[in-house]
Amino acid sequence: MSNKRISLTRYLVEQQRVDGHIPSQLRLLLEVVARACKSISQAVNKGDLGGVLGAATTENVQGEVQKKLDIIANEVLIEANEWGGHLAAMASEEMDSIYVVPNRYPQGEYLLLFDPLDGSSNIDVNVSIGTIFSVLKKPEGHTGVSEQDFLQRGAQQVAAGYCVYGPQTTLVLTVGDGVAMFTLDREQGSFVLTQENVQIPPDTKEFAINMSNMRHWDAPVKRYVDECLAGTEGPRGKDFNMRWIASMVADVHRILTRGGIFMYPWDKREPNKPGKLRLMYEANPMGWLVEQAGGAATNGKERILDIQPAKLHERVSVILGSKNEVERVTAYHREA
């Protein structure tokens, strides 16, 4: 291990000095989110000993039965963030509408969106899960805050990241200047910089998609996967490997680490929905991280970050990862 350990705090302070594009309020926000993730990580680690496994009795706005940890993680993020004065409001997968900072606290200029616990089906089986977050600036020119203020394209994000709770707890962050990874040192209680300037290789031999949905896919997705499955004898002339963790955070973490393509495309099960994943707190932050690491993210037709959201919990078809592969799948959609 290098003897120069750079904590998240030091990294953010130095970034702020270098180019000034982390204003102090944003730095505070990122520190607070990191602290909340540390606390969620503790709860995840305790598992059954902390009584955090299993389902709650409630459903979220998406009609999904909430897990205890979905609710705990959501509360941890709200409690950590509401009093610091850096936020105007928050929005979450687990809340129907936005959470405006109570007026007993000062209001800041940022908006925070999160998927407090991603990969909920993996909680009880002890497989990697995570937290995803996206930061926007509240549009200027009016007082108060409404859902409308959140409906900004992903390209407007000022920070985005996730924390993966796996064999290690790792926080992955972008403020628009590349992607950095920080590993949680449990003894010190701090996140330590372990990788900077993360780069996704443009080509890959690994794809991630829930194959059980194959019969519902659209032709371009079917064509791409069929060609991967044909291996060395097929048009791609090489064998592919497949991974599906069912936690977007863990799948994206693998892709940022060694490349690959991840797809949760539109399918015929619910033709009126654009896809399963949510645009504003899953696809946008992940799409931006992937782009910042040299990869690409589209919905098959356009860049994820260019989509103008119409509502907070809007869903989207997602194709992201190694650039050449994402461009190939997107081209197949264009040709179809």
Q: Which residues bind ligand AHG (CB under 6 A)?
A: 93, 115, 118-121, 210, 246-248, 264, 276
267, interface contact from Mn ion, ligand AHG, none, CB < 5-8 Å by kind: none
Q: Does 118 bind Mn ion (CB under 5 A)?
A: yes
Shortest Cβ distance from residue 313 to ligand AHG (Å)? 11
β-strands 169-174, 159-165 pairing: antiparallel
291, interface contact from Mn ion, ligand AHG, none, CB < 5-8 Å by kind: none
Residue nearer to Mn ion on the CB measure, 119 or 260? 119
Residue nearer to Mn ion on the CB measure, 118 or 206? 118
Shortest Cβ distance from residue 265 to ligand AHG (Å)? 11
Residue nearest to Mn ion (CB): 118
**What gap in Å lies between CA 32 and CA 322, rounded to an integer?**
31
Residue nearer to ligand AHG on the CB measure, 21 or 269? 269
Binder among 69, 72, 115, 170 for Mn ion (CB under 5 A): 115
* Among 95-103, 114-122, 199-207, 307-315, the segment contacting Mn ion (CB under 5 A): 114-122
Contacts of residue 92, defined as CB under 8 A and 6 or more positions apart, other chains included, come to 74, 77, 78, 99, 113, 114, 115, 116, 281
Residue nearer to ligand AHG on the CB measure, 110 or 264? 264
Of 132, 133, 141, 136, whose CA–CA distance to 88 is shortest? Answer: 136
Shortest Cβ distance from residue 246 to ligand AHG (Å)? 4
149, interface contact from Mn ion, ligand AHG, none, CB < 5-8 Å by kind: none
Shortest Cβ distance from residue 324 to Mn ion (Å)? 26
3-state DSSP: the chain helix, strand, coil percent, rounded to 5?
Answer: 35, 25, 40
Residue nearer to Mn ion on the CB measure, 117 or 255? 117
- Three-class DSSP category at 260: coil
Shortest Cβ distance from residue 108 to ligand AHG (Å)? 26
Backbone angles phi, psi at 284, to 5 degrees: -65, -55
**What gap in Å lies between CA 91 and CA 97, rounded to an integer?**
7
Question: Per-residue x/- mask for Mn ion, residues 65 to 94, rule CB under 5 A?
Answer: ----------------------------x-
Residue nearer to Mn ion on the CB measure, 203 or 270? 270
From residue 81, alpha-carbon distances to 26, 114, 158, 197 in Å are 12, 12, 17, 28
Neighbours of 281 (CB within 10 A): 26
Shortest Cβ distance from residue 120 to Mn ion (Å)? 5
Shortest Cβ distance from residue 273 to Mn ion (Å)? 15
Of 243, 258, 248, whose CA–CA distance to 283 is shortest? Answer: 248
Of 64, 28, 29, 69, whose CA–CA distance to 45 is shortest? Answer: 69
**What gap in Å lies between CA 292 and CA 112, rounded to an integer?**
20
Q: Does 251 bind Mn ion (CB under 5 A)?
A: no
Binding site for Mn ion (CB under 5 A): 93, 115, 117-118
